[in-house]
Each structure stands twice: as C-alpha cells, then as structure tokens.
Structure 1
Amino acid sequence: MENRFQQAAIATWIGIIANAILAILKGITGWLSGSRALIADAAHSASDVAGSIAVLAGLKTAQKPPDKDHPYGHGKAENIATIIVAILLIVVGFEIAISSIGAFFGGVTRAPGIMALVVIFFSLITKEILYHYKSRLAKKINSSALMAEAWHHRSDSISSLAAFIGIAGAMFGQAMNLPLLVYLDPLAGLAVSVLVMKVGFTLAKESSQVMLEQVLSDDEVKPIAESAENVEGVIRVDELLARTHGHYIIVDIKVSVDPSISVEKGHTISKNVKKCLIKNYDTVQNVFVHVNPYRPDDGGTVTDLSPKSKEKKRA
C-alpha cells in the first residue's frame, strides 16, 4: 500500500512541476503573441496543477487503513479527487469557450507569431509523454485518480494539437492575405473547450457511479462467486455483491452450508471463504460472509452455470 502511494505521489509531483512550467510558458507566450488558443491552453495546464494537488490529497487519504469511523477504508477519496479534477475540466472548458466566442465578436487583428507554434508543439510532446507514463502506472496500481490525471494530460495534448492547427492556419491566412483564416486561432480555442468539457463529464460520470455504490456486473463477480463455491464446506453461493472503493473491492457474500453442522464449523467456513477471495484476487480488500442453512428448493444462485452447481442440481 505504501509503495503504491509513493509511486503515485512521484508521478503526481512530476505532473505538477511540468504543468506549472507549461502554464507559465504558454500564458506569457500567448499574451505576447495574442493567441487565444495558446492562452486557452495555458488555462488548461493551470487547471492541471490544481487537479494534481487534489489527486495528491486523495491518494494520501486513500492509503489510510480502515478505522472505527471508516470500516470499509478510505479508498473513495481517490474518486472524490477524480470528481474534483472533472469539475475543474468542465469549468476551464466553459471559460475557454466564452473567451473564444468573444474573440469572434471582438475581432482578430493579427495571427500569433512563430514562437507560439514552438511553445505549443513543446507542450504537445510533453503532455503526451506524461499521459502514457501516468496511464500505464494507473493501470498497474489500479488508481482511478491517477487515470483521471492521465486523461487530463491527454486532453491537454489534444487541445495543444487543436491550438497548433489553429495557430498555424491563422499564420498561413495572414501570410497569404486571407483575413478569414486568422479566425482559425479562436476557432481552435473553441474546439479545445469542447474536448476539455467532454473529458470532464466522462470522468465525473464514472466516479459518480462508484460514489453511488454501483455494484460490479454479473460477469465481473461470477469468477469470484465460483472461487467461493469451491471452498470446502460451501454448498452454494446464494448472493454476491461487490462494489469498488477507489482502487480496491469490498465483497458481501451469502453462502449456504450444511444446516446440521455446528456454529463453530460454519464460522470456520466463512473465514475460509474470506481468506480464499482475498488471496486469489488482488483487488479484493475485505469480504463480509453471511452463512445460510442449505435448502435445495431455494431460488437460483449467482453460480448456476458453474460445473459444481450443475452437479448439485443433477444430484
């Protein structure tokens, strides 16, 4: 757990430093060159800094062990951080859209200079490298917050590409005496805003589902149920509910056992089910087992299609 946090924290700090440098560089260059697209991109990078700080706080909280007030752990702190990043993206995207639309009505007098192109290209390469680095690490340590930050970088690289095209088009229009092409710069800024808001809404939706205790699908829980059913003493898995808490899963399971065994034997079986699932599934952090007396005439189970269940039904 500690190693997981350290890896994520290092990646987040790298992002904070890189984004701060890019935001300042793009902001100054955009202001000097008069590029709406570059200024919009600078605002996006600045939001990355705020988002990374939120992610860092979420990761630090998520690695705390369960306590009296939080018996299921603090894993959802990562999802809270993800939602904060998503809201920042939506707000920044909206502000970029307003600024870009205003440029159309206010008029564009000149295209940005070559320096704006150089800076935006440097930003594009840097953000794409950060995306691949954090995306791979997020998958490795199963962190939704770090994945959200990775997509924040990807959205920034896409917005940088849109800005690059817009600035290059505006410069070409000015050189060829085609005034309308100068508006490609604010048009690129508007395209950036749409991309940024779309990423924000997607991340917010995914994290909200976790916060609302959405359980895993039947296909996702079936292997877990079959593992539990193979534990000695378990006759049938009656119900299995699994929900994500950040980077880990909490499982609630009901199993049927021989009704004639002692309470102590039933308790031992429940402990073995818990040990089995935690051992076999890295993402399962805790399991709550309820023992039922086996009744053959009860309804279907979550493992009806497993070989073991079919044998019992034939018997």
Structure 2
Amino acid sequence: MTNLLINAVVGKNKDVNDPKIRGKYAALAGITGILLNILLFAGKLTMGILSFSVAIIADAFNNISDAGSSIVTLLGVRLANKPVDKEHPLGHGRYEYIAGFIVDMLIILVGFELLKGSIEKIIEPVLPNVGNATFIILGASILVKVWLFFFYRKIGNTIQSAPVKAAAADSLSDCIATTLVLCSALAARIWGVQIDGWAGILVAVFILFTGLKAAKETIDLLLGSTPDPAFIENIYEFVKGYPRIVGIHDVMVHDYGPGRQIVSFHAEVPADSDINVAHEDVDKMERDMHEKFGCIVTVHLDPLVVDDPLVNELRALAENAAKDVNETFSIHDFRMTKGETHINLIFDLVMPTDCPVCAKDAEKQVTEKIKNLRPECACVIRVEHPFV
C-alpha cells in the first residue's frame, strides 16, 4: 500500500535531493496523516461521548493533534523548500527542524492535558458505558496507527525529515495508548471495573515520553549534532579514489536542513606536488562529491612531507607519544623546522571531547614524552577536538 501511494504521488523520479521530489514525499505524508487522523478523531470522539469515557475522548483529541502536526509538517517542508535569498544565502532548510520541534511540543501538550483529565477522572470516577461499536472503532484505530507508523518511517528515512520521523514515533506511541484504552473499555464491559482514569494516565505517560524524546532529537539537530558515522565513512572511502591525496583530516559537516549540508576538510598532498595539479585534483573532488552526496564541499590543501627520513622519524615519534598518553589521541598537520640549537615540531593534537585529561595536561605530557627521547626537540602543539 505504501509503495503504491509513493509511486502514484511521487512518480518514477525518486531523487530526494530534488526539493520538488522532497515536497511530494512530504505532501503525501502530511495529507495522508491529516485525513486518517480526522477520521479517527470523529469516530473516537463520538464513541467517547456516548460511553462517558475520558480515556477514549482524550485519545480522540490526541488524534486531532496529530492532524494538526501533519499540517505543521506540510508547512515546515514548504517553507524549507523556499529558494535562497539575500538574507538567507544557505537556504531555509532548518524550517523543517523548527516544524519538527513544534510537532514535538504539540505532542507534549496533549500528554499534559490527558494527564490532567485522567487524574480528575480518578478523583470523580464514572463507569464507562461501552458498546460493541466502541471496540470496533478502537481496534480499527490500532490497525490504522500501525500502518501509519511504517508509512511515516519509510518516508521519514527516505527524505531524512525530522517532523515525519517524529510522526512515526508518535504513531507507535498512539498504538500503545489506544491499546491501553481498549483494555480499559474491556475491563469496564466484562468486569464492571473502572480503570478508565488509570489507563488515561498510562496513555499520557507514553505520549509525554514520546514527545520529550522526539524534542531532544530535534533540538540536537538545531544545535548541531555529530554527523552520521556512515556518511563520514563514505567521505573517507570516496577520497581514496584520488591517488594523489595522501589523507584527510579536520572533517566538518554543517547541517542547514535535510539535503543542505556543507562539508569541509583538509586534504593532505605531498609537499613536492605541483600546486596546479593538486588544485585541479581538489577542484574535481569537490565537484564529484557534490554530484554524489548532494552537498557543498570546500577542501583546504595541506602539504605533507613524505620523503624526508628525519621528518618521518619525528612524525612517528609524535604519533607514538600521543598514543602513549591516551590511545584515543592522534596528530595531524605535522611540520618540522630546524634551527641551530633545536628542532621545532609543530602539529595539532586531536583529543576526544569526553577525554578526562584536560587540554593543557595533554599538551604537557606529550611534550615531555617527546623531549625525553629527543631533548633537542621543542614542541608547538595546538590541541583540538574532532567535529565528527
């Protein structure tokens, strides 16, 4: 069913880097969510009023908030696809993340309101009057939400959309919530037990947990989170296809919304390379990466001495010293300058952000290990943290 809808709306062109194609995917997710959630709201609200069940009524309003979330998703993607302008030269892609955050806040709001109503129901209990139609509506709702979960998940992963992924998580929590409401209705029908308010509290907790978890993930995107390790691995593998590039470091990924990434890194080339040839290689690599990954790429050339025995020896010494201090340490941008009385070793020391050793102590320990073996060496170290 999902593939049938995608093929009917999106068509044969599935290039998600094309804003128009992304828009079609988002429109399909949004409109489908609006229609189905409005139908579920109408059915549950009717049954909830007729049966005097606060849990069913709350579940109904949860569905109408989901319809509102779908509208926000549609609006967010539409705004994100606006072309660049003078005030926003990097585009409007983060509108989609903002839309996702609004959806998360709506989910949390529904959870709080449901929690409040459920507590009131416990204080002043009324036994629900549940009929067969109620069970049919609730059962159908669970099936619809299960399908929506897989539907949203497929589209969210395809276009890497924060609000659509949030809708998928919300649909899964709705399945659990409606199942609890169904159990509450069964208890009232079979045993005459009033657990409506308690079921409502459990539903509220699930909704709040889902909303808070999704909000954290969206805030991470807005603040700037660690890029996908698979994407970074693909970059390293891609660069191996350029034999004159010795290696890369200082990889950075700036995320300005789905499909709007800027990648930068330093490419190491032999110091005796022809600068024009090296520049041509880097230009080609930038164009090829843009074509393959759909991102803007900026590469900085770093000359690397590879055929000087003394440089190679001292570089290995610095690398080993860093590893001796901490296995997670590494170095790059190594240079050597010889004076009359000493040798300057200039390099960057890379240490993890969660390393227990402070930057100054790390620099001091690495310097001491090098000087113990080569007293004539003076170290000029810049400590930095990885961005990926």
Shorter-chain TM-score bucket reads: 0.7 to 0.9
Aligned to 2:97: 79
Query: What one-letter code is carried by the residue in structure 2 that aligns with 1:118?
Result: I
Report deviation, 1:15: 0.8
Matches within 5 A, 1:261-300: 261=273, 264-281=276-293, 284-295=294-305, 297=315, 300=331
Matches within 5 A, 1:169-188: 169-174=187-192, 181-182=193-194, 184-188=195-199
CA deviations over 1:16-45 (Å, ceiling 9, x no partner): 111112212212221121111111101110
2:230 paired with 1:199? no
Aligned to 2:117: 99
2:234 paired with 1:223? yes
Give 2:52's match in structure 1, choosing from 29, 34, 55: 34
* CA–CA distance in structure 1, aligned partners of residues 160 and 102 of structure 2: 19
Aligned to 1:121: 139
* CA–CA distance in structure 2, aligned partners of residues 229 and 214 of structure 1: 26
* CA–CA distance in structure 1, aligned partners of residues 291 and 152 of structure 2: 27
- TM-aligned CA distance change 1:20 to 1:219, over 3 Å: closer
Secondary structure, counterpart of 1:145 in structure 2: helix
2:129 paired with 1:108? no
Query: What one-letter code is carried by the residue in structure 1 that aligns with 2:37?
Result: N
Matches within 5 A, 1:210-249: 210-216=221-227, 220-248=231-259, 249=261
TM-score under structure 2 length normalisation: 0.69
Give 2:269's match in structure 1, choosing from 243, 250, 257: 257
* CA–CA distance in structure 2, aligned partners of residues 260 and 295 of structure 1: 8
Query: What one-letter code is carried by the residue in structure 2 that aligns with 1:55?
Result: T
Which protein, 1 or 2, shows the higher relative CO under an 8 Å CA cutoff with sep ≥ 6? 1
Structure with greater strand percent: 2
Aligned to 2:31: 13
* CA–CA distance in structure 2, aligned partners of residues 291 and 258 of structure 1: 10
Name the larger-Rg structure: 2
* CA–CA distance in structure 2, aligned partners of residues 49 and 254 of structure 1: 46
Query: What one-letter code is carried by the residue in structure 1 that aligns with 2:290?
Result: I
Aligned to 1:209: 220
Q: What number of residue pairs does the alignment pair up?
A: 293
Secondary structure, counterpart of 2:295 in structure 1: strand
- TM-aligned CA distance change 1:76 to 1:295, over 3 Å: farther
- TM-aligned CA distance change 1:101 to 1:140, over 3 Å: same
CA contact (8 A) 1:214 1:243 kept: no
CA contact (8 A) 1:100 1:190 kept: yes
CA contact (8 A) 1:228 1:276 kept: no
Q: Which structure 2 segments of 5+ residues have no match? A: 1-17, 307-314, 319-329, 334-388
- TM-aligned CA distance change 1:15 to 1:66, over 3 Å: same
Q: Which structure 1 segments of 5+ residues have no match? A: 175-180, 303-315
Structure with greater helix percent: 1
Aligned-residue CA RMSD in angstroms? 2.4
Percentage of pairs with the same residue = 28
TM-score under structure 1 length normalisation: 0.84
